Structure 1
């Protein structure tokens, strides 16, 4: 019976992971979320699927992460097969600003550090807290949700000057994944960064969100005509799980897209 712990499960891709994994009664699924009381859909899934266990976790809080790992360990016999670090700071009220567009330089610094704390340090803390469980697990896989926005080639090819904090944090976390991979390869622990694709996860009202997706796709297709467009979280998760389940130790430290292609040079 494989066991999974996933961060950032109250909505979007994380929630889709819980839907997909929870539907198989052979899986033991730990859904980690910061605001459990407000996660209506997640709580409904936990009611529907008795193999889904919600664990309150704030990835910005080290003690909260450590407590979550302790809880998972107690409920799952001190082991874990697959850790999926999906939780991240992505959308931000100043995401459209470029690095030179901030009038307040202290606010620029604050924004940069917010992205780094959540998307890099939070992931590192989570991995460190769950490493003992992964060592004791059978599958031994640690997955990090990354993004093409952290790729130099992608940024330059598509003229992406906005969302600098998010992009820089994703580039940094890819390096962290490689470092963990090198350190723990001999133990047989597989570390992978996966890019989920351009997924429909906007919190904006539907009409505004669809307009954003359409405009983003239009701009990307200027430089990348064959860009597939925005996809649903469920499709992204199915594709990612196919990659996760067949990943081997030879791939550890890699950055892959949801089709399994090497995304490290995109």
Structure 2
């Protein structure tokens, strides 16, 4: 029975992975959420799901002990093994996303914001991976997925001339190098690490009409520089494509940054 751990499952892509993977009754899915009480979309889905193959575990990746407790709980169910870890949890949006590194009102606020993103998106992901490493090494698939973003690459930052979303971009860049370090460390043990760009996915909260207008605006802006930009896609489409990719990759791909269709992650937005 293949086993999967997914972080950040209260909504969006994380919840999408839970829904898709739990359709196969032989799969065992562990859905990690920072606050289970608030994860109503997740809990409602699990309650009505025909296959009783989903385990909800409360875990906060900014606390190492919390992630270790989650790994211990998973281990009890799987006999100390895990086939795939999908690192989806991340801080994406912030009230000061529009600020550039030089436009903060004071250096203390800049440092505060960068630390928040680095703690969640880098240290939090590292804590998660470290907690589940023994289980992954004992598993059959031996795959660790980290959701990445073109906003965290030098090439795309310069190509788009986008200087905002500094905390998110810098943290994603740092996690990309951390992933390469893991890939170098565990290549000979057959554990593959993969960075994946899920695409421009419709996960933004808010009133539907307002959100759709924002997606249209951002798509139009992106197409000025990248005419072939596909625009916003559904969670279901992104998850479907990613799962096909996850199944296809091998240890030969460890450390790669790929789009959800398997192309080079630096090749487009």
TM-score (norm 1): 0.98
Give, in angstroms, the shift of residue 220 of structure 1: 0.8
Q: C-alpha deviations, 1:26-60, integer Å up to 9, x for none?
A: 11000000111111111122221310100101011
Per mean C-alpha deviation after superposition, the further-off stretch among 130-139 and 151-160 is 151-160
Q: Which residue does 2:7 correspond to in 1?
A: 7
In structure 2, runs of 5+ residues without a counterpart are none
Q: Which residue does 1:35 correspond to in 2?
A: 35
Verify the 8 A CA contact 1:36 1:56 in the aligned structure 2. yes
Q: 2:65, 2:142 → 1: CA distance?
A: 23
* Paired residues for 1:44-59 under 5 Å: 44-47=44-47, 48=49, 49-59=51-61
SS in 2 for 1:171: helix
SS in 2 for 1:107: helix
**Superposition misfits of 4+ residues, deviation over 6 angstroms:** none
Q: 1:241, 1:63 → 2: CA distance?
A: 29
SS in 1 for 2:244: helix
SS in 1 for 2:57: strand
SS in 2 for 1:92: coil
Which residue among 88, 101, 109 is the counterpart of 1:86?
88
SS in 1 for 2:221: helix
Q: Which residue does 2:165 correspond to in 1?
A: 163
Give, in angstroms, the shift of residue 190 of structure 1: 0.5
Verify the 8 A CA contact 1:151 1:265 in the aligned structure 2. no
* Paired residues for 1:101-250 under 5 Å: 101-250=103-252
Q: 1:96, 1:224 → 2: CA distance?
A: 21
Verify the 8 A CA contact 2:156 2:266 in the aligned structure 1. no
Per mean C-alpha deviation after superposition, the further-off stretch among 100-109 and 240-249 is 100-109
Q: 1:45, 1:203 → 2: CA distance?
A: 19
In structure 1, runs of 5+ residues without a counterpart are none
SS in 2 for 1:191: strand
Give, in angstroms, the shift of residue 104 of structure 1: 2.3
SS in 1 for 2:205: coil
Residues 265, 224 of structure 1: CA spacing in aligned structure 2 closer, same or farther, 3 A cutoff? closer
Q: 1:160, 1:90 → 2: CA distance?
A: 16
Give, in angstroms, the shift of residue 237 of structure 1: 0.6
Give, in angstroms, the shift of residue 204 of structure 1: 2.2
Verify the 8 A CA contact 1:148 1:195 in the aligned structure 2. yes
